[in-house]
């Protein structure tokens, strides 16, 4: 099992002091190498779910098992290290660092893993996404599609067990959407990486064999019934 969520609850504290339940997931799982699209409406908790899975946020309760390890009870510093080593991220807005070249952005992802940087592997990843001639280009010298391809290469830099993609094609033109999507799916398949992609675009989601609707298994109100706020 690559990803298992069990009885996961997450709420935010509102300015009034009350807690706003956002996630209430009884069980959700993905097998190793599986690829799934997760569809949810805006404000439905998609990003919070990715943050909980990646360890950026700790859940209020429940289990978040990634690659066999429950990261929910771990201290933040351990979750950070675990995230760097086991989880890749592709963001909607690419989130490349503007001062760094394509190659440096990929190397940056490696440098936080604690395993050192593998320059040759970083270059091979950029070659894989078709950017062998853009290694020394900074983001502002690259097209939007190229930037997202760098982001994909960076997400795979630490050979993650799980890749989380947050609306990766939302900001690219239709011509590049297919390219990016295929790239993410193909590279995950080649490397046996589990892929969870959240999107609100059904035309993207429909291309996955497995399509989950967040609303179908996320019931925060029910999860928090009887829980003191």
Partner 1 sequence: MNLFSIAWKSVKQRKVASLLTAFSVALGVMLMVVVLVIAGAVDGAFNQRSIAYDLIIGAKGSDLQLVLSSVYRVQPPIANLPYMYLDQLRNDRRVETAIPLAFGDFTKPEHGGFPIVGTTNEYFLNEYTPGKMFEVADQAGTRQLSELYDAVVGSQVAHKNSWKVGDQFTIVHGSADSEDTHDEMFTIVSVLRQTGTPNDRSVFLNLEAVYILDGHQKPIDEVETRLNDFYGNDKERLNAALMQMEELKQKRAKGQEIGDQAMGYGLDTPEAMKEITAVYVKTREVFDAISLQSELKNGSKAMAVNPIRPIKRLMTNFVGHIQSALVVLTGMIIVVSGISIFVSIYNSMSDRRREIGIMRALGARRTSVFSIILAESTVLCMGGGVTGWLIGHGLSVAFAPYVSARTGLLLDGWALNPWEFVLFPVLLVLGALVGFLPAMTAYRTNVADALTS
Binding site for partner 1 (CB under 8 A): 47-48, 51, 54, 56-57, 76-77, 80-81, 83-85, 89, 91, 95-100, 104, 107-113, 117, 154, 158
Residue among 80 and 219 whose Cβ is closer to partner 1: 80
Tell me the HSE value of 132 on the side-chain side, using a 13 A CA sphere: 6
Strands, DSSP E only, in 14-137? 19-30, 35-39, 61-66, 69-70, 87-90
Q: How far is the CB of 96 from partner 1 (least distance, A)?
A: 8
Q: How far is the CB of 88 from partner 1 (least distance, A)?
A: 9
- Angstrom distances, CA of residue 208 to CA of 166, 186, 204, 212: 15, 12, 8, 10
Q: How far is the CB of 84 from partner 1 (least distance, A)?
A: 2
Cα distance between residue 13 and residue 33, in whole Å: 36
Q: How far is the CB of 78 from partner 1 (least distance, A)?
A: 10
Residue among 24 and 109 whose Cβ is closer to partner 1: 109
Residue among 156 and 208 whose Cβ is closer to partner 1: 156
User: Can you tell me whether residue 5 is helix, strand or coil?
Assistant: strand
Token readout for 176 is: 């590049």
Q: How far is the CB of 138 from partner 1 (least distance, A)?
A: 10
Residue among 26 and 135 whose Cβ is closer to partner 1: 135
- H or E element at residue 10: strand 3-13
Residue among 81 and 210 whose Cβ is closer to partner 1: 81
């Amino acid at each position: 099992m690559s990803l298992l969520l069990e009885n996961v609850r997450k709420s935010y504290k509102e300015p009034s002091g009350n807690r706003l339940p956002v996630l209430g997931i009884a069980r959700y799982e993905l097998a190793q190498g599986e690829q799934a699209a997760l569809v949810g409406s805006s404000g439905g908790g998609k990003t919070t779910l990715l943050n909980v899975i990646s360890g950026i946020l700790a859940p209020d309760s429940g289990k978040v098992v990634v690659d066999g390890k429950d990261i929910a009870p771990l201290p933040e510093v351990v979750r950070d290290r675990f995230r760097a080593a086991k989880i890749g991220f592709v963001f909607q807005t690419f989130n490349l660092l503007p001062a760094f070249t394509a190659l440096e952005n990929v190397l940056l992802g490696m440098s936080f893993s604690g395993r050192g940087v593998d320059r040759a592997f970083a270059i091979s990843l950029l070659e894989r996404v078709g950017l062998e001639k853009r290694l020394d280009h900074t983001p502002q010298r690259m097209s939007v599609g190229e930037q997202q391809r760098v982001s994909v290469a960076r997400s795979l830099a630490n050979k993650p067990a799980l890749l989380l993609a947050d609306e990766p094609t939302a900001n690219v033109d239709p011509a590049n959407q297919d390219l990016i999507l295929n790239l993410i799916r193909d590279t995950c398949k080649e490397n046996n990486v589990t892929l969870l992609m959240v999107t609100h675009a059904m035309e993207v989601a429909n291309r996955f064999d497995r399509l989950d609707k967040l609303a179908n298994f996320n019931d925060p109100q029910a999860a928090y019934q009887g829980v003191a706020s």
